[in-house]
Structures are given as C-alpha cells and as structure tokens.
Chains A and B, each alone.
Chain A
C-alpha cells in the first residue's frame, strides 16, 4: 500500500506547483488585493506548513539510511517553521517582517540537505542528478526569499520566488526511481522503468 518513492516526489511536486501559482498570482495582483479575502492569505503558509507535516511520514517510511532520515527530518522542520512563521505574520501574531527570513533559512537548509544526502555523482542516474540540481537551485536562490523579506512588495522578487517553486516542481516531476539522465545510467543503479 506504500507508494513508490517516485510517486511521493510527484505528489510533493504537485504541492509546489500549487504554491508557485499562488505566489505568482499574489505577486501580480499585489499583497493588498490578495489579502482582501482572508482564506487566500492563508493558502501559501498553510500549504507550506502542511507539506512540512507530510515530510514526517516520508522521513518515517522512506528512510534508507541515517543521512536520508536526517535530510527528510531537516526539510520537515524548516518547512513547518517557515510555514508557521508566515501563518503567524498573516494572523498578526508576529509583527516583525524579519520573520520572513525563515523562508531564506528554509531554502538554505533544504538545499544543503539535498546536497549532503545525495551520495552519488551527478550522472549516476536521474534522481541523483535531480537531487544535485535541486540542492544547488535552493542554495543559489536563497538570496530571493532573503531579499523578499526586505522588499515584500517587489513584483520582480515575488515572481522570482514563485518561479523557484515552479522549477522545484518541474524537477520533482522529472524524478524516477531508476532512470537514465542524458543517456547515462550507472550499471549499479538498477533496471530502468519508462
């Protein structure tokens, strides 16, 4: 009954795609219009927090090694932390906009966890490539949520932030348990599936 690992990646990809669309729409219409209906303001932080909660079962059931467990646990913690901080900002429980830096922390920790827990080289197989790509994407784009914390109304930063989430979703949708990447598949990786 347990879904294959690739299906879990695709389900999270769907979550990130929803978040990307919501963030892009918010960037386009502006924070004032977006928050005119209270439920809309809770969508992004609520989804981020929920995805953090859902990382715990992933940590529990997909632990192939200690480093995997630590990485999944770190993602769960930082996603829940960033989601909770954003929820509290929307609710008015937190007032300092510096709490938005929790998203930058989430990016930095998540990216580092991706890079540390992927033990194989880039071209070992597709999932190895995607883990490296996701890790470097998150580390490199940590600057986006960092800058957005200081300029929350910037259309360019808001759009860039949304684009990062859409890119994450594309990379996660591309994930397969065993598949070649650019024609490369290590003999020890296993039998590829279409």
Chain B
C-alpha cells in the first residue's frame, strides 16, 4: 500500500481511539458511584431517611459521583465528539 494512504488512514483511527476513551469516562464514573453506593449503602442517606438535617440529604457522596459522570457525559462529551469528527 502507498505510504501516503497509510498515514491518511492513521489519523481517523487515532481519532476514533481518543473518542472511545473519552466516551468511557462518564459511564465509568457513574459505575464507580453505583458500586460505592452498593458497597456502602449507609453513605446514601436517602435510602433510610430518619430526621437527618438538610446537608445529610443534600450531600451524598456516591450520588455526587454519579452526578459528575452524568454531567460529563451529557454536557461535555457531545461537543467534544463533534469536534473530534466522530459525529
């Protein structure tokens, strides 16, 4: 194969690997939060509310991790994939 064509093919392949890596970041983060919630359910106060103050209901670490993953996936990722040329 002509070396010129090979180098032209390498760019989309590299771009696609990059796209796949950034696509996994959000779901991985969400999965991390869910696994944490399963391992330490007492860190999710909503599962057993019992007279806790506002902050105990508003700030629940595993849910915050899930929220970060969702935020990245739905707010940052779409534009990034578009700019990478994968959409």
A residues near B (Cβ < 8 Å) are 1, 3-4, 7, 10-11, 13-14, 17-18, 21-22, 24-25, 28-30, 33-34, 36-37, 40, 43, 173, 194
Contacts and interface: CB of A to CB of B under 8 A. Distances in A.
Contacts of B80: 25, 29, 33-34, 40
Per DSSP, are chain B's interface residues mostly helix, strand or loop, or mixed?
Answer: helix
B84 interface: yes
A36 B29 CA distance: 25
Per DSSP, are chain A's interface residues mostly helix, strand or loop, or mixed?
Answer: helix
27 contacts: A1-B54, A3-B55, A10-B59, A10-B61, A10-B64, A11-B64, A13-B64, A14-B65, A17-B29, A17-B64, A17-B65, A17-B68, A21-B72, A22-B72, A22-B76, A24-B25, A25-B25, A28-B21, A28-B22, A29-B22, A29-B80, A29-B83, A33-B83, A37-B79, A40-B76, A40-B79, A40-B80
Interface in B35-87: 42, 54-56, 59, 61, 64-65, 67-68, 71-72, 76, 79-80, 83-84
A21 B25 CA distance: 7
A3 B59 contact: yes
Given A24-B25, A29-B22, A40-B80, 8 more contacts: A7-B56, A7-B59, A14-B68, A22-B72, A22-B76, A28-B21, A40-B76, A43-B76
